[in-house]
């Protein structure tokens, strides 16, 4: 059975119908750009040759898959073409979709996409990222989802430097029905997080989600502040933070990758929340972040609603990329080829 047929079968089932619809509609812009280019290439080149690979490379780079990732993917595809003796470019769609999933996971399995929630005691999640990427909104949506799952959640308003950040988090706390621990604007973020931990412990909360500053006078100050916050968390809850989630805006493409590099080195990031994936044609950045930074994407924003912050699913992502090609007729043709 072809990989594309497997994907289609997986996402046409009742249990995966909602996920497939979210990825299909949420990735429309990336898909129309990505699939359009691949379909156009396949229409122009009947046989697999060096010229075809050169143009494919260019198409993938313009989808912000990342230069290093594209080079590795092209090498894998060339190897597979030789191994399977593929001559017709139409047969490559299946191999491309399969290799994208393989490149995403590498040596890991699907568990890398799950949050590291503790069975016993308090789970502390630190959320970092520059201003304007949707950090506070993501915290609110995450808190809402966890509350819906029956967890007791507390938020700590650790972004004390940005005007309006504390009030914004309070609004999200009210919407999600969770408590918010705050100090006044300009307070020491580490002191806010300390109070957040004490409040979460006294309320026997399951999860504490900590907001952090997105910008200070310079990068060194910002990273020093994050380091101080981490020390307080580690002292009060041994083994915490259990997750450090970096929020990135998918519409910024390669700029998101450079932010991932900055924060990845300084904040010990364990996962990515990629917002506004539905608003960009640069969705390939998911693969670049994972492949070049070795950091898994844990959540993606596929719309404005509370439930549109979706747990990331690499196969769902690839399904979203190729959904237009995955109708019955195209898969049947591939099976016959």
Task: Find out whether 69 is annotated in a ligand binding site.
Answer: no
Contact 317, 272 (CB under 8 A): no
Contact 293, 261 (CB under 8 A): yes
Task: Find out whether 129 is annotated in a ligand binding site.
Answer: yes
Task: Find out whether 130 is annotated in a ligand binding site.
Answer: yes
Task: Find out whether 132 is annotated in a ligand binding site.
Answer: yes
Task: Find out whether 213 is annotated in a ligand binding site.
Answer: yes
Task: Find out whether 124 is annotated in a ligand binding site.
Answer: no
Task: Find out whether 136 is annotated in a ligand binding site.
Answer: yes
Task: Find out whether 274 is annotated in a ligand binding site.
Answer: no
CB burial class (10 A; 0-12, 13-18, 19+) of residue 105?
middle
Task: Find out whether 119 is annotated in a ligand binding site.
Answer: no
β-strand pairing of 153-156 with 309-311: unpaired
Task: Find out whether 275 is annotated in a ligand binding site.
Answer: yes
Task: Find out whether 215 is annotated in a ligand binding site.
Answer: yes
Q: Per-residue b/e over 81-94, b at no fewer than 16 CB within 10 Å?
A: beeeebeebbbbbb
Residues contacting 50, CB < 8 A, separation 6+: none
Task: Find out whether 160 is annotated in a ligand binding site.
Answer: no
Task: Find out whether 131 is annotated in a ligand binding site.
Answer: yes
Helix (H) or strand (E) holding 4: helix 3-11
The annotation places the binding site at 129-136, 211-215, 275-278
The annotation places the binding site for GTP at 129-136, 211-215, 275-278
């Amino acid at each position: 059975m072809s990989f594309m047929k497997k994907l289609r079968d997986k996402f046409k089932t009742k249990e995966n119908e909602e996920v497939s619809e979210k990825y299909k509609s949420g990735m429309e812009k990336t898909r129309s750009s990505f699939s359009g280019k691949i379909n156009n290439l396949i229409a122009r080149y009947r046989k697999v040759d060096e010229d075809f690979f050169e143009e494919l490379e260019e198409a993938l780079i313009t989808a912000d898959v990342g230069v290093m990732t594209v080079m590795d993917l092209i090498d894998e595809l060339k190897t597979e073409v030789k191994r399977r003796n593929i001559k017709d470019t139409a047969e490559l769609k299946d191999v491309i979709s399969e290799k994208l999933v393989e490149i995403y996971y590498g040596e890991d399995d699907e568990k890398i996409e799950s949050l590291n929630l503790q069975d016993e005691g308090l789970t502390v999640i630190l959320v970092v990222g520059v201003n304007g990427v949707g950090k506070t909104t993501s915290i609110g949506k995450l808190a809402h989802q966890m509350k819906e799952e029956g967890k007791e959640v507390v938020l700590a308003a650790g972004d004390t430097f940005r005007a309006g950040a504390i009030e914004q988090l309070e609004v999200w706390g009210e919407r999600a029905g969770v408590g918010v621990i705050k100090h006044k604007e300009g307070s020491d973020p580490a002191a806010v997080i300390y109070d957040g931990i004490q409040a979460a412990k006294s309320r026997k909360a399951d999860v504490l989600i900590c907001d952090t500053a997105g910008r200070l006078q310079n990068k060194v100050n910002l990273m020093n502040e994050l380091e101080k916050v981490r020390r307080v968390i580690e002292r009060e809850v041994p083994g915490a933070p259990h997750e450090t989630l970096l929020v990135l805006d998918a519409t910024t493409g390669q700029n998101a990758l450079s932010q991932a590099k900055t924060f990845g080195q300084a904040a010990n990031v364990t996962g990515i929340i990629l917002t506004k994936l539905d608003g960009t044609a640069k969705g390939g950045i998911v693969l670049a972040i994972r492949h070049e930074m070795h950091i898994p994407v844990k959540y993606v924003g596929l719309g404005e609603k509370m439930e549109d912050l979706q747990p990331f699913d690499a196969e769902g992502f690839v399904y979203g990329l190729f959904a237009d090609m995955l109708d019955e007729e195209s898969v049947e043709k591939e099976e016959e080829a």
